[in-house]
Structure 1
Amino acid sequence: MTNPKSEPEMAGMETDQTITPVIMSGGAGTRLWPASQGDHPKQLLSLIGERTLIQDTALRLRGRATGFAFTDPLIVCNESQLVPIRTQLADIGQTAWFMTEPCPRNTAPCALMAALEIAGREPDALMLLAPADHYIRDEAAFHQAIGRAVPAARSGHIVTFGITPTAPETGYGYIEAAEPLDAHASRVAAFHEKPDFETARRYLASGNMFWNAGIFLCRPDVLIAEMQALREDIFKACQTTFAASPKTKDTRALDAALFAACPAQSIDYAVMEKTTKAAIVEADIGWSDIGSWRALRDLAAATDGNAVRGNVLALESKDNLIYTDGPLVAALGVDNLAIVVHEGQILVAAMDRVQDVKTIVEALKNKS
């Protein structure tokens, strides 16, 4: 088994900690159909402001903050996304290194492959696993949370960032915090699945339950060792794939046949729910996973509750999301709808059903 560095060895470090961001860009974003689909998923879209989500993610994960400095990020993406991601990062002056996946295998193999890459290239760095398609309003608070997580990560914990809940949200998983590890980090008592509304209300009132943002900070050697101990099948498959995958100057293309044989599972199920090394740092950062059109409406809504983009006229209408990439969309006397026009495809959905938009994608696949 891989032997992680000793805690005293890591605790003696006093210089700014190097952190390598791992930007996970494998998500399909099917709940944001028709805008997000195929080789152009939501992380490549400009949904809030002028920049795309992956551009915003890269920009918030570069430079220095108190106690740490970011290296160039490692982008893990589907091989079909490599060219557009390179182009988008070049547009903001961001250099990076890349790992391409021939097929989606979820976040556990993604995280382990990244850990193997970083352990060989930057063994003293911490790795920050972050989805490419999330929104964070308060970058300074996010950097503060990362700085607060560094001591626990250095000492061998896998730190997850618990988002301070603002409502009894039923669309997120929750993390239950236990006793403190230090001034800012606590042990994780349990991970909880998406609750019903009454359970979410109890979680909100408890004071020790946080939204699971899927962002993690750890040492690569610790993640490798925990994966080997807890999911040896994933570890062996990834180790074999990594060794057989060619690398150019800045890109490693994962072997298609070997990677396809790797078990697909999230890092939450594979590691975080089983490890004794899980820790949590609270993060009040204005976070959203933009997991549905409703989430986007809530972020972008004006005083009438409507979030609009493009050529839109909304009269006597409220609490709608209306996006169009071309033709005029006029709404009259309608409430709580998602209306999206993208490249000739049109979605009209009740706002309380937008979590189910992915079923349209599945139905279209079956139809074709």
Structure 2
Amino acid sequence: MNIVIMAGGSGTRFWPMSRASRPKQLLKIVGDQPMVRGTYERVKELASDGQFLVVVGQDHFAETTQLFADTRVHVLAEPLGRNTAPCIGLAARYLESKGNNDPVAILPADHYIARPRIFRKALLQAVAQAEIGGIVTLGIIPTRPETGYGYIEQEAPANGWDEEALQRVRRFVEKPHLELAKHYLVSGNFYWNAGIFVATPRTLLQEFATYMPQFSEGLERVARHFDQPGFPDALSHLYERTENISFDYAIMEATRQPVYVIPCDCGWSDVGSWNSLYEVRNVEQDERGNVQEGEAIALDCDGSFILAKGRRMVAALGLRNVLIVDTEDALLVADLERSQDVKKITSELLQKGSVKML
């Protein structure tokens, strides 16, 4: 099998730690490795290094290449951020150009998996189906009525429930409001969409030819330059004319291919906000639910997340559900439950022209 790791995101919800020069996937957010390297380590036993492809933004190509200097992992640079559809199309065309049509697992670089053995088992099951045909996705078994994720609805099982059984997908659903999310949780037919897909490169390229024909034609021209000096310019020309669109919208919501979902209870988190990171790090919580890192003191505090990443002591007194992130040049203080809105701060900084803080 092949494995593509998508590592081109900006991680604006992790400001002030995550910056344009050091996005989330290059930080040691969880554990002692940058997230992109941790993703590789999680699944490296499933494929040889030569079957790994990491797709990054051009600005982070050198650093990512250095992260994998001790491997045979290939790193491919995108000139512009254009969301997941162009990234996946580019990766599929690159693999096919090498005469490789083994199924490819497409993984985000910045997710957390608490139970990697279960995750790997589900990926292998997905690969087995992809070799037969269709597109396979992993459906994360929901644990709460989450409004921040998209959902996957499966066809009702014909012969009762089997939590490990591959099922046909009925539809992909956008992020719901709370009452609808509660309904999804109770029904048992819905999964969180983790953005993890498995298919052969040929199957994927057929879909791009159907639903993104101009991009597909451009990829054919770019493919003549793979591993050649003219590749960056050829790809830049294509990406400048390519829309910013996700793989879900461009392909999965339109495809007529058979689509399957494999239920996966692997302790997944997209680590999409400071609050979700706080939940992932629950084993570090003290008896009052506080997580502290660095030179920090929390007195009479409850449910708070304090990260002292600068050169000074951070002390908190009498706080409830508060986020404090102190870095060398910026300090964030927020309601922990509103940490999804941190991206609003980066938008405000951009409007004010404070580009050096982004």
Q: Give the match for residue 53 of structure 2.
A: 74
Structure 1 distance, partners of 2:121, 2:217, is 36
Match of 2:88 among 99, 103, 111: 111
Moved more, 36-45 or 178-187: 178-187
Give how far 1:143 is off: 0.9
- The answer to whether the 8 Å contact 1:294/1:354 transfers is yes
State the aligned residue count.
343
Q: CA deviation at 1:154?
A: 1.0
Equivalent pair of 1:62/1:71 in contact (CA under 8 Å): no
Of 116, 131, 154, the match for 1:139: 116
- SS at 2:319 equivalent: coil
Counterpart AA for 2:272 = G
Instruction: Determine whether 1:130 maps to 2:107.
Output: yes
Aligned counterpart for 2:178 among listed residues 197, 200, 207: 197
Scaled by the length of structure 1, the TM-score of the pair is: 0.88
- Check 1:116–1:179 CA distance in 2 against 1; reply closer, same or farther (3 A cut): farther
Task: Determine the structure 2 residue equivalent to 1:7.
Answer: none
2:126 pairs with 126, 149, 152, which one?
Answer: 149
CA contact (8 A) 1:127 1:220 kept: yes
Tell me, yes or no, if structure 1 residue 274 matches structure 2 residue 267.
no
For the Cα contact (< 8 Å) 1:98–1:252, is it kept in 2?
A: no
Deviation string, structure 1 residues 171-203 (Cα, Å, up to 9, x no partner): 111100115699732111111111121111111
Aligned to 1:218, which of 191, 194, 199?
Answer: 199
Q: TM-score, normalised by structure 2?
A: 0.90
Separation of aligned partners in 2, 1:343 and 1:159: 44
Deviation (angstroms), 1:69:
6.5
Q: Quick one: structure 1 residues 362 and 240, their matched pair in 2 at CA, closer, same or farther if it must change by over 3 Å?
A: farther
CA distance in 1 between partners of 2:102 and 2:157 (Å): 24
Does residue 25 of structure 2 align to residue 43 of structure 1? yes
Using the alignment, how far apart are the partners of 1:25 and 1:45 within structure 2?
12
Q: Displacement of 1:49 after TM fit? A: 1.7
Q: Which amino acid is 1:26 matched to? A: G
* SS of equivalent to 2:75: strand
1:32 corresponds, among 4, 7, 14, to 14
Tell me the residue number matched to 1:298: 279
Following superposition of structure 1 onto structure 2, how do residues 1-368 of structure 1 map, counting pairs within 5 Å?
19-64=1-46, 71-90=50-69, 93-178=70-155, 184-244=165-225, 246-247=227-228, 253=232, 255-277=235-257, 278-301=259-282, 302-303=285-286, 304-326=288-310, 327-368=312-353
Contact 1:21–1:71 (CA under 8 A) maintained in structure 2: no
- Runs (5+) with no aligned partner, structure 1: 1-18
How far residue 168 of structure 1 moved from its aligned partner, in angstroms, is: 0.9
CA distance in structure 1 between the aligned counterparts of 2:138 and 2:22, rounded to whole angstroms: 28
Amino acid at match of 2:68: L
CA distance in 2, matches of 1:69, 1:145: 18
Maintained 8 Å contact 1:62/1:72: no
Separation in structure 2 between the aligned mates of residue 122 and residue 141 of structure 1, nearest angstrom: 30
Between the aligned residues of both structures, percent identity stands at 37
CA deviation profile, 1:178-233 (whole Å, cap 9, x unmatched): 15699732111111111121111111111110000001111000000011112213
Structure 1 residues 133-173: Cα deviation after superposition (integer angstroms, max 9, x where no partner)? 11111110011101221232112211111001111111111
The RMSD of aligned alpha carbons is: 2.1
- Distance 1:238-1:307 versus aligned 2 partners, 3 A rule: farther
- SS of 2:172 mapped into structure 1: strand
